[in-house]
Chains A and B, each alone.
Chain A
Amino acid sequence: MLSAITNTIANQHLANIALNPIAQVSIETTLKAIGRPAAILVDKDISPDTKQYAASKEFLYQATCLLTFLGIIVPLFRKGGFQLAKKVLFKDKPEFQKFENVKEFEHYMKLTKKSIEDRRLTLQKEKVKDKYHPDVRKDLETNENPETYPLIVSTIGVFNLMGSVLGLAVLAPQVSHMFIHPALRLLGLEEKNKKGTEEQKTAPAAKIDTKA
């Protein structure tokens, strides 16, 4: 039992996810989208209508943030960042010119983790037959430890990080703000909540829940 927990915590795949800002942000936002509404619904000091409204709003906010992040930010910054580095920022660097796009580089990085025999077999396949630059192909087929291109890895990491920060702090809240109120109105929660607050305002002072 203990060894199972130890192996799970020290899992290499989990470590790869934890070190990838996109995966990390996605998991964290998913947890927030589940956990925060659940925490609101458990709260006993709020009226049921307010609870429903606040929980729905929180869920919609986190969900739209996640969708915006995955749908716009990730492709834009991952692919666009690589192309920007290749064509503008590091156009003199030969390593960037060896790869067509970020997808090809990521496939290459996956291959570097395999054994040399597995790599040779993969490179024989129809799909990747004409894929790589001759130097890269040669490196994969003959070298036991192929080049890892730290500058390209760092560049992709930096653009991912920039995308995560700008996406979650600037763009996603704006998109979700535009989407949340119509969605709440469509669900009939906004009117309900308005009525609730009106009732609370007109209610006698003695009946107001001071804990809330």
Chain B
Amino acid sequence: MNEAASKFLERAFLRLGNLRKPIYPVMMIAAGKGIFRPMFTMMDKKEEPETKRYTAIREGLTELIAIPTYYFCGKASASLSRLFPPKLQGNAATNLMFIGVCGAALFAIPALCSVAIKPIMDAIHKKKAPEPQPIVLSGTVKQSKFPVKYHNNFNSLNTFSSRMPDAYRLNSRIGGV
């Protein structure tokens, strides 16, 4: 490995290694889950496309809610360390942050998801809902896949007009719209 790459790697590892706070691993895991879980769901060939899309959006939203919740719960509980004597504040901040993260995973995130996800999913579903289908009165009507050709069964004399080409008759404005 060349010198510059080695230096860059060293700096990057030292910087990342210093992110020693309990909120960072859980936020990174949530971000990873937010990317990979919907991806795996969409790759599933056994599921219906609509179900896949619904599940993937739901999973993505859950992790999207989880990331800021972990951050705020961790930070809020760590701020309580100010109540401790100055000598203990460092350890107290770390431990309280960890307790906050556990609380977020157990209570805050499920609660927020149950409140927020349903309205969002309903809103998305409403937007994508198909237009109402016309009401079919009889269930036995079968539609032909070939274009229907109208046959005139009346016994009448075929006049000149009836022998005109269809395109000509339909484009003529005589006697109507």
Contact = CB atoms under 8 A, between A and B. Distances in A.
B17 A150 contact: yes
A31 B20 contact: no
Nearest to B63: A169
A31 B95 contact: no
Interface in A136-160: 150-151, 153-158
B106 A31 contact: yes
Contacts of A14: 91, 95, 98
A170 B38 CA distance: 11
B1 interface: yes
A157 B37 CA distance: 25
B32 A12 contact: no
Contacts of A39: 110
Interface residues of A: mostly helix, strand, loop or mixed? Answer: helix
Contacts of B29: 25, 164-165, 168-169
Interface stretch (A88-96, A107-115, A204-212): A88-96
A9 to B, nearest CB: 5
A35 B110 CA distance: 11
Contacts of B20: 19, 157
A2 B84 CA distance: 11
Interface residues of A, number: 43
A36 interface: yes
B16 A157 contact: yes
Contact of A25 (B14, B17, B19, B25): B25
A154 B94 contact: no
Contacts of B40: 173-174
Nearest to B3: A92
Contact of B22 (A24, A32, A158): A24
A172 B28 CA distance: 15
Interface in A9-64: 9-12, 14-15, 17-19, 21, 24-25, 27-28, 31-32, 35-36, 39
A147 B6 CA distance: 22
Contacts of B106: 31-32, 35-36
B64 interface: no
Interface string B1-42: 100001001100110111111101110110111011100100
A180 interface: no
A21 B102 contact: no
A161 interface: yes
A155 B15 CA distance: 10
Contacts of A18: 22, 94-95, 97-98
Interface of A: 6, 9-12, 14-15, 17-19, 21, 24-25, 27-28, 31-32, 35-36, 39, 88-93, 150-151, 153-158, 161, 164-166, 168-170, 173-174
9 contacts: A14-B91, A18-B94, A28-B105, A32-B105, A89-B1, A90-B9, A161-B25, A166-B32, A168-B33
Interface of B: 1, 6, 9-10, 13-14, 16-22, 24-26, 28-29, 31-33, 35-37, 40, 84-85, 88-92, 94-99, 101-102, 105-106, 110
